Structure 1
Amino acid sequence: MSKPTLADLQSFMMVAARRSFARAAGELGVSRSALSHAMRGLESDLGVRLLHRTTRSVSLTEAGERLLARLRPVLSDLDHVLDDVVRDDHAPRGTLRINGGEGAIRQLLQTVVPRFLALYPQMELDLVADGRLVDVVAEGFDAGVRLGEAVHKDMIAVRVSDDFRFLAVASPRYLREHGRPAAPDDLHAHRCIRQRLPSGKRYRWEFARHGQELAIDPPGPLTLDSNTLMVEAALDGLGIAYVPEPYARAALARRRLVAVLDEWCPVIPGLFLYFPGNRHIPAGLRAFIQLLKETSGSR
């Protein structure tokens, strides 16, 4: 078996990401035919088919999927090592990729991102708002941002936000018309705004009080997949929503929403930026972490 070149492996990753020879060739600055020839040469060198080709699309074979999963962290580490070696005046450069939910990315945009971009003009931030709890290493990210309870124990975690609660909220008009639930079980007699998770499952509302824990899939005619949309629906009087407190804070302060079952909504760990501790930490991520610690006051 001949050893493939680094350029061929990088080209393969681009084709895998774009699922198109034409788009990948455009980004690589080569012709489509040259890229197709290079991929056939890579397959010949490895002795295995990596790509399924049709006239309209490109997809990965099982072997291609395995190669992509192994290449992402390896080439990402290589990029970071080379970046550290060639950086001028110790200033970070390159691209920093971070994955998180929409609320987590919004939190970064409102806090550390403006200062980071101002201080490090040679850095690019690639922030991906994704509701799925992805494997940041396998997906080619430098770090992720999630609730503290969702971060694996083998990850290094840096605080992004204060602890907060999930709250059940409704508009004053809705409560006047339908009454106020006194306990979680009362939700079964209400119109609830339910949430669809990225996995396709509905989110179960979790409550706790005096050591008693409940998880309820409440009834309701409306299901949404966005906390922002759930708050808007609650503001319109469509029912009771169960959302992270930051999403509802402004409406609660203006009394356009009212929190119910408040004593059943415990504080949970806030958002944390996390990354594997057994890999090289690129200069850009180190700088981002330092600013994050200064912003949040953590040490």
Structure 2
Amino acid sequence: MKQDLTIPHGALDGIEAFLRVAERRSFSAAAADLGVSPSAISQSVKALEARVGAPLFMRTTRSVGLTQAGEMFLERAAPAYAGLADAYEAARNLGNRPAGRLRINLMRGAVQPMFEPILAGFCDTYPEIELEIFGDDALSDLNAGGFDAGVRMGEALDADMIAIRLTGPFRFTVFGAPAYFERHGRPQTPAELRQHRCVRLRLASGGLIPWSFMEGNREVEVPVTGPVIVNDQAAIIMAVRSGVALGMTAEPVLQEHIERGDLEVILADRAVSTAGLFLYYPSRKQVMPKLRAFIDYARDHLPEDMAR
């Protein structure tokens, strides 16, 4: 049977007064410690005794002692109250310094280019933050998933989200390996991709991401086919490097491979651009220090080719 863990309204009233009187064995001393009048302390304790249904103190003109019920109540209430005080202090400290678990939800394809350049430095700078990186190609509900923030392309965000730019605009480009071009040739227009082998990306929703290009001032889709379908950006690069097909992904992801000569970008003059990556969260409530620290560090330390 499910246990009812609801605390009755007002059940904690008078606990602090009781504990202080039990410690000091004096209503007046407890009142002085708490900065209230002795009558206020007495009324709080009497109200607590009424809720408990038994006297907690034995009172005389010269001394204050605990009854058996009071001893039993003190034995259980003192550690519980101390635990509540510790919980309050821990939560308050999290609001004052960058500490605690920081959960970031972002597209899986953005994990490597965004976090590889900053991860070690961020963890060294903020050792009290436990960073959880959650790759997720769906636009998940941050509150329902328990995330502090998400990272997505600006076009994907709802208008009611608070968005902070992390990178400048970048392009989605077609790329291939030299081995592929040697075997199958190099397409000169987006339309020629219909005759080429292409790696396609399946979304978490089940759909395949279309390949889009600029034609004048408008965006057009080109239907492509190929021998490989993946659900991860890293898998696209792996397949393309093998020479099996062409791929399409965000240009910053390819930079290292292009510099090494592993991959080559084609049709760059027809590439579609995105507004860039934004960190977002769902309300204008106060940003916790751990999230503010991440925002500032990411904006200051992301590579220049991803900078604003």
Query: Scaled by the length of structure 2, what TM-score is found?
Result: 0.65
Deviation at 1:3, TM superposition (A): 7.3
* Structure 2 SS opposite 1:91: coil
1:170-181 alignment, distance < 5 Å: 170-181=176-187
1:157 aligns with 2:163: yes
Q: What is the root-mean-square deviation of aligned Cα atoms in Å?
A: 2.7
Indicate how the Cα distance of structure 1 residues 132 and 186 shifts in structure 2: closer, same or farther if over 3 A, else same. Answer: same
What is the match of residue 204 of structure 1?
A: 210
Deviation at 1:263, TM superposition (A): 1.2
1:289 aligns with 2:295: yes
Q: Which amino acid aligns with 2:93?
A: V
1:230 aligns with 2:232: no
* Structure 1 SS opposite 2:119: helix
What is the match of residue 128 of structure 2?
A: 122
Whole-angstrom CA distance in 1 between matches of 2:89 and 2:162: 23
Task: Name structure 2 gaps, 5 residues minimum.
Answer: 9-86
Deviation at 1:290, TM superposition (A): 2.3
Q: Which amino acid aligns with 2:203?
A: L
Indicate how the Cα distance of structure 1 residues 193 and 267 shifts in structure 2: closer, same or farther if over 3 A, else same. Answer: same
Structure 2 counterpart of 1:86, from 89, 93, 102: 93
1:53-202 alignment, distance < 5 Å: 85-87=92-94, 90-202=96-208
Indicate how the Cα distance of structure 1 residues 251 and 107 shifts in structure 2: closer, same or farther if over 3 A, else same. Answer: closer
Indicate how the Cα distance of structure 1 residues 121 and 238 shifts in structure 2: closer, same or farther if over 3 A, else same. Answer: same
Q: Which amino acid aligns with 1:4?
A: T
Q: Which amino acid aligns with 2:101?
A: T
Whole-angstrom CA distance in 1 between matches of 2:236 and 2:94: 45
Indicate how the Cα distance of structure 1 residues 116 and 250 shifts in structure 2: closer, same or farther if over 3 A, else same. Answer: closer
- Higher Cα Rg, which structure: 2
Contact 1:158–1:293, Cα closer than 8 Å, also in 2: no
Deviation at 1:235, TM superposition (A): 1.6
* Structure 2 SS opposite 1:154: coil
* Structure 1 SS opposite 2:145: coil
CA-to-aligned-CA distance 1:230-262 (integer Å, 9 cap, x gap): 112112111111111123222222222222222
Indicate how the Cα distance of structure 1 residues 177 and 119 shifts in structure 2: closer, same or farther if over 3 A, else same. Answer: closer
Whole-angstrom CA distance in 1 between matches of 2:254 and 2:114: 18
* Structure 2 SS opposite 1:220: strand
Q: Which amino acid aligns with 1:100?
A: L
CA-to-aligned-CA distance 1:148-200 (integer Å, 9 cap, x gap): 22122222222223321111111223223222222212111111111111111
* Structure 2 SS opposite 1:138: helix
Indicate how the Cα distance of structure 1 residues 271 and 138 shifts in structure 2: closer, same or farther if over 3 A, else same. Answer: same
CA-to-aligned-CA distance 1:203-243 (integer Å, 9 cap, x gap): 10111132132112301121111221211211211111111
Whole-angstrom CA distance in 1 between matches of 2:117 and 2:258: 22
Q: Which stretches of structure 1, 4 residues or longer, exceed 4 Å deviation after superposition? A: 80-84, 296-299
What is the match of residue 46 of structure 2?
A: none
* Structure 2 SS opposite 1:161: coil
Task: Name structure 1 gaps, 5 residues minimum.
Answer: 7-79
1:273 aligns with 2:279: yes
Whole-angstrom CA distance in 1 between matches of 2:113 and 2:276: 11
Indicate how the Cα distance of structure 1 residues 214 and 115 shifts in structure 2: closer, same or farther if over 3 A, else same. Answer: same
Whole-angstrom CA distance in 2 between matches of 1:232 and 1:249: 15
Contact 2:169–2:274, Cα closer than 8 Å, also in 1: yes
Whole-angstrom CA distance in 1 between matches of 2:244 and 2:122: 40
* Structure 2 SS opposite 1:197: coil
Q: Which amino acid aligns with 2:254?
A: A
Indicate how the Cα distance of structure 1 residues 87 and 164 shifts in structure 2: closer, same or farther if over 3 A, else same. Answer: closer
Whole-angstrom CA distance in 1 between matches of 2:119 and 2:91: 21
CA-to-aligned-CA distance 1:68-126 (integer Å, 9 cap, x gap): xxxxxxxxxxxx997562359x4222211111122333244324433332233222112
In percent, how many aligned pairs have the same letter? 33
